[in-house]
Amino acid sequence: MLNPIRPVSPFSQAAISADTRAVNARLAATVAAFRQPEALADLRVAYAGGHTGVPAEPASPAARELSIPGPGGAVGLRVLAAGQVEGVYRPPSSAHSGDMPGSRRSAPGA
């Protein structure tokens, strides 16, 4: 029981509920039993099946499947976007020091 005059530190073992301890124990056991995959394809299979310690997420029916060219061939993408995209966030050029293709940095005082 917590003492209202002398509360327990949120970082102490006494502050962790039994439910949280049980979840942490199950997660630790799952992660300890997880075998390092030999290839990315093996990791994808483990993730999709919920065998990585993180529950598998269902694929959204709203996602579109696309592919873009990559250095080793096509790269598959799943895109979730609103029906009509109104805009895209791009950080100010100072945030990325002009390292994005097509970006320009303004001269001081410009």
Average pLDDT over residues 66-70: 90
Once rounded to an integer, what is the mean pLDDT over residues 71-83?
85
Banded model confidence at residue 48, pLDDT cuts 50, 70, 90: confident
List the structure tokens of 37: 């995959």
Q: Give the pLDDT mean for 2-10.
A: 68
Measured at the CA of 54, the angle between CA 43 and CA 25, to 5 degrees, comes to: 120
pLDDT more than 70, % of the chain: 77
The per-residue pLDDT for 94 is: 55
Closest to 3 (Cα-Cα) out of 17, 16, 14: 14
Q: How far apart are the C-alpha atoms of 78 and 62, rounded to whole Å?
A: 10
Parse the chain into domains and list their residue ranges. 13-83
Contacts of 65 (CB under 8 A, 6+ apart): 76, 77, 78
DSSP tag of 27:
H
